[in-house]
Structure 1
């Protein structure tokens, strides 16, 4: 990541948003889509290091297990008076039902979309401190609509960031990217939650394309600069198009399976607009698009759930002793799973 020396005011705003945390105002300059919406073709990241060193002692040689999910909870305003979902329960009640499903499935990390303040407050009450979320209220009461939540007895926050993504009519929204550390294995990984615009307020294909360009560029930048695993969750409002662009533009694989060999692109059927992607060192299993009774009466989306496993973290003591001399100067990106 690159520091941002261009704007003291930006640093001041970021500092205020993060409520006094010690900040480095950073910017990722990665080209997104070409054409209209030049601002949407940039990735802007604000970073706050919160746990630079592990708070627990990792177990050497331990694989990392994580149950990961993506869920569009159907924003509370859809079922408020005047909303477009007449007869549905309130956002608060629907979130109570969804939280029970999240907990029953043992979800460790989840990307949430349309997660509005009434639902955020309900989630906090129902989970009673067992989950942390980002951004929470750091961006105001409307800012948590896209959030990442994680179990605090499994993962700890290393840094919290955002990416600018074009939404309805090209309006720029910040969407979260967090770097988490597994408390048992010491593995670090990036998790994000995106919501690309639907056609509900006009044809939005060009904005989805720009959003996808940015998401692909972000994955490649994080992979190249850190070598760490990256996970993308979200409601992308595209099926085959998004799958094929993400898997051809990055080394990511879908939790649902599928194939893209550069000539043929074939996502697994049935295909949904809600996705989980992960770096290729991930072994995915147990994929399900859950449309159980509580989910059906709470949201118009399935709850996407999968189990992910990462190999043990590579540490210097795991590396073989060089048999030749002198030792070559390291080049290139870090090896995946090197913290």
Structure 2
């Protein structure tokens, strides 16, 4: 046999290497197939190939659900109207007390407030700077209309719409009571907030106006309950046992103050006062208290019910 030329020897070496590589590849394929007979090769992803979405972990899903459920702090605040402290006495002006109230609400972390007795000059101070907003709108309302207002923290809530109903008040006059739908900016969930001030006094006329006002309040809460979003009812009700029992018996609301009904019998909470918070059953309450002390006592002659609401 004639010896191969250098060029032919190079070609033969290349052919041997290709054959060896093919044999190794075949062996690997056979080995993989033996280890996993049912395995099938997946083609590489291309621009038109859908990439599988990995489901979030259980912890991440729980965290997302918690953010959507959310919580907020609510208060029912009779701010003591400016007209109550225009003359000499132990209280500062309504405007100065509104500044104190605003500072207190921010430090408390309250984001939904049912406000009573708030006059236009006090609402102006509360909403100045945009931290809080209110309804009915101050610029187009009278003092008797802003006296019952819903106030909310603008970073947490967005105004959706407002409605009003009228009750008898102040011996033959009438007052409009606001009902405001708010949308939570984080979760997108909505709720109704109702702020009510019922007539005070113990004479026959006062009792009649309070009774009629209470009945209209309950009727409107019942109507709101049919619209799905939960209801937060706040206000200076000038009533203790009566307003509690009639509200929990005739609506689906309960109170963070406790109490309830059992076998048709009303069991009001102990330590009741005239300022109230009620809410729909989806709400879960915690940390309820009547805020009091030196700062509150400089602002108003009422204690302020506050609570954390989870939903």
TM class by smaller structure: 0.7 to 0.9
In the alignment, does 2:233 pair up with 1:232? Answer: yes
Structure 1 stretches lacking a partner, 5+ long: 1-57, 311-339
Q: Secondary structure at the match of 2:114?
A: strand
**SS state at 1:289 partner:** strand
CA separation in 1, counterparts of 2:147 and 2:79? Answer: 10
Equivalent residue for 2:197? 195
Q: In the aligned structure 2, how far is the partner of 1:231 from the partner of 1:296? A: 25
Can you list the C-alpha shifts for 1:205-253, whole angstroms capped at 9, x where unaligned? Answer: 11111111111111111112x1210110000000011000000011100
Structure 2 CA distance for aligned equivalents of residues 124 and 275 of structure 1:
23
TM-score (norm 2): 0.75
How well do the aligned residues superpose, as a CA RMSD in angstroms?
A: 1.9
Question: Which among 115, 118, 121 is matched to residue 118 of structure 1?
Answer: 121
Gaps of 5+ in 2: 1-63
* Contact 2:67–2:186 (Cα < 8 Å) also in 1: no
1:103 aligns with 2:106: yes
Shift of 1:141: 4.2
C-alpha contact (below 8 Å) 2:255/2:277 kept by paired residues = yes
- 1:256 is aligned to 257
CA distance in 1, matches of 2:305, 2:233: 12
CA distance in 2, matches of 1:109, 1:117: 19
Q: CA deviation at 1:147?
A: 0.5
Asked if 2 retains the 8 angstrom alpha-carbon contact of 1:69 and 1:110, the reply is yes
Q: Tell me the secondary structure at the aligned position of residue 169 of structure 1.
A: coil
Structure showing greater Rg? 2
Q: d(CA) in 2 for partners of 1:164 and 1:59?
A: 39
Asked if the contact 1:284/1:309 (under 8 Å) is kept, the reply is yes
Structure 1 CA distance for aligned equivalents of residues 203 and 301 of structure 2: 17
Q: Cα distance, 1:305 vs. partner?
A: 0.5
Whose helix proportion is higher, 1 or 2?
2
- Deviation (angstroms), 1:262: 4.4
Mean Cα deviation higher: 264-273 or 287-296: 264-273
Alpha-carbon displacement from aligned partner over 1:83-135 (angstroms, at most 9, x marks no partner): xx72321111111222111111100100100001221122223xx20111001
Question: Take 1:164 and 1:204, find their aligned partners in 2: how far apart are those partners?
Answer: 16
1: CA distance between counterparts of 2:239 and 2:263? 20
Specify which of 69, 74, 88 is matched with residue 68 of structure 1: 74
Q: What SS does the corresponding residue of 1:213 show, helix, strand or coil?
A: helix
Q: Does residue 175 of structure 1 match 2:144?
A: no
Q: Give, in whole Å, the separation in 2 of the partners of 1:269 and 1:284.
A: 17
Q: 1:214 to 1:262 in 2, by over 3 A?
A: farther
CA distance in 2, matches of 1:136, 1:294: 27
Structure 1 residues 127-169: Cα deviation after superposition (integer angstroms, max 9, x where no partner)? x201110013222344211100111111101111111121111
How much has 1:61 moved relative to structure 2? 7.1
Partner of 2:299: 298
In structure 2, relative to structure 1, the CA distance for the partners of 1:88 and 1:158 (3 Å cut) is same
Moved over 4 A (4+): 58-61, 200-203
8 Å Cα contact 2:177-2:195 kept in structure 1: yes
- Determine the C-alpha separation between the residues in 2 that align with 1:202 and 1:135: 31
Higher relative contact order (Cα pairs below 8 Å, separated by 6+ residues): 1
Equivalent in the alignment of 1:211 = 213
